[in-house]
Structure 1
């Protein structure tokens, strides 16, 4: 049994035409007589020929594919952003191919290599660390780059981000305005720029309140399980060190912390401990105590990133733009008195 893919030559032999005629049917059908075109089309259907667009694009040196590398596709924020980017790219005749770096710089580098080898139109990336040199090299080879969920202060690349420092401030200011004074911030380390920015906002808010304190609780990752583990450590530290307000660097961590507080600590939310997250993922509103959070315009970020990238593809001399969206406070039961849960 021959498992070799059907080639253009196979189609040409079957239809008894030249290879160039098959190529014209595929790419310039108006150049081929109707009867010949019908014979070639029938041969394609009979043989099950599938055109190799990747090879064609490599020969042409161009593509209709956009590479997108995110930090964690398991985070609903990134999956929603990716979906919005895909939808808008499709409207503009392009396709988004997704890569998940998993916060791993080596894995991120491999994705960049693969996308460059595939001659993508351009790259959207939420970088793990400082990729300035690598991305500049891409740009010099006519692969435009747009940073996603990260502002480029050097203005070398266009970027789409949210003012996370303002978001951190909003979150902790809300806890302070609710009378909370022993604040804990749960995050996966300042090496993640978004976490560092949210922490900076939290510090600024606490600095405005002389009798308030801020403690950093390290989470191993930005996941529900990591949040639950961090929450367990908070509960096990005992009443003397128990915060009365917790700000988590994302909603997944906050949901995990809530589970630990309710199931292990036996505490009431929000009476004993107010809790606020970040991102406003779908699960936030449906948590056992609906989660207060900081909302980011996820879908708008995805569409804007593609729009900026396609703009640079159309005009390589276009000005680099830094689009920064403002976060929004969403108040739900986890920081208010409307809804209480105790397990």
Structure 2
């Protein structure tokens, strides 16, 4: 009797069952080709020896993997943390694992992750791209690796994608500020090369156009709390009449940093003098000292949907049928809190 602590090979199973190696392989992979008495003898030997098939090795020999690659813009941003959780949860339901790469809004890091995932021969790639990586993605696709864009529309590119209509979200945020009577609005966020930031800015410009209000663009080099805090200090240093009376921050992290400068310590500018709204509706938004109005995105659902699209592509590829690339777009939701409406301080108002 072979001890279970000893690695049992397919050869051990063949010897115990008194059959050829090929017969054991057929029982494991093509059982319909093996006569029932022989198949039962092999399965009994597997049970007696405690044999466990090495799926990892089998998949490697077949050129397949049970791993998906995921590249996000900033894993420190709770939005992308939630997206990643949705990806991992849905992948786990299918027995797939996920390799996470954080580009940290750096094109060089993004390229390094693409190199690694290509070398690892991941089964599929989910990516929220920073720059123009169409050439790299095209190479992966030609080698048989399906691509799904996350939080980014595919446009004319031959990929499936899932995203939120950020132009509509930017318009919604700015229209809300205008409805509160604000007329000197600042859009804070960047860099503009990030597609999501550019789309939210376009939405803001659309909302302001023809309203008689002014829109000041304050472009930043990042989307983190420290960036917002720095811009907030600069705004505090301005004369009151030169400050905006409303701020649309490109994401909640920037908005929280702004809040730390504008609404805490000796400065109590939000919401009376300056109304503020963010984007993403992360958990911290509702927990701020002054609860933050925000544009809500279904972050975990975005991640789960990205895996659903990937599974459909993989099924099509393995079935030898033409892949039907799908585009899924979610609509954002306005969540009003005390940073734009003091009366909303005790409860969220979603529209």
TM-score w.r.t. structure 2 length?
A: 0.84
Residue 334 of structure 1: SS of its match in structure 2? coil
What secondary structure is seen at the aligned counterpart in 1 of 2:342?
Answer: coil
Distance 1:288 1:150 in 2: 32
Distance 1:240 1:20 in 2: 85
Deviations 1:16-55 (A, max 9, x none): 999969x8699579676467435643xx8xxxxx986544
Which structure 1 residue ranges, 5 or more long, are not aligned? 1-5, 45-49
- Correspondence list, 1:1-343, <5 A: 33=42, 36-37=45-46, 40-41=49-50, 54-210=56-212, 212-263=213-264, 266-316=267-317, 317-338=322-343
Alignment partners' CA distance in 2, 1:127 and 1:32: 53
Contact 2:285 2:293 in 1 (8 A): yes
In the TM superposition, what whole-angstrom CA distance separates every residue of 1:294-320 from its partner, at most 9, and x where no partner exists? 011112211111111111111131221
1-side partners of 2:63 and 2:292: how far apart?
A: 49
Structure 2: stretches of 5+ with no match in the other structure: 1-5, 32-38, 347-351
Checking the alignment, whether the CA contact within 8 Å between 1:162 and 1:324 is kept in structure 2 is: yes
- Specify whether residues 32 and 242 from structure 1 end up closer, same or farther in structure 2 by C-alpha distance, changes over 3 A only: farther
1:143 aligned counterpart, secondary structure: coil
The alignment of Structure 1 onto Structure 2 pairs a total of residues equal to: 328
1:170-189, CA deviations, whole angstroms, 9 ceiling, x for partnerless residues? 00110011001111111022
Q: 53-62 or 146-155, which moves further after superposition?
A: 53-62
Residue-by-residue CA offset, 1:79-138 (whole Å, 9 max, x unaligned): 101111111112223222211111111211221222222221111000011111111111
Q: Following TM superposition, by how much is the alpha carbon of 1:238 offset from its aligned partner in structure 2, in angstroms?
A: 2.5
Give the deviation of 1:219 after TM superposition: 2.7
Q: What is the root-mean-square deviation of aligned Cα atoms in Å?
A: 3.0
2: CA distance between counterparts of 1:54 and 1:273?
Answer: 57
Q: 1:66 to 1:26 in 2, by over 3 A?
A: farther
CA 1:309 to 1:34, structure 2 compared with 1: closer, same or farther past 3 Å? closer
CA distance 1:315–1:276, shift in 2 (3 Å): same
CA contact (8 A) 1:295 1:328 kept: yes
Q: 1:152 touches 1:322 (CA, 8 Å); kept in 2?
A: yes
1:3 aligns with: none
Alpha-carbon distance in structure 2 between the residues aligned to 1:33 and 1:195: 60
Q: Deviations over 1:144-180 (max 9, x none)?
A: 0010011011141111111111111100110011001
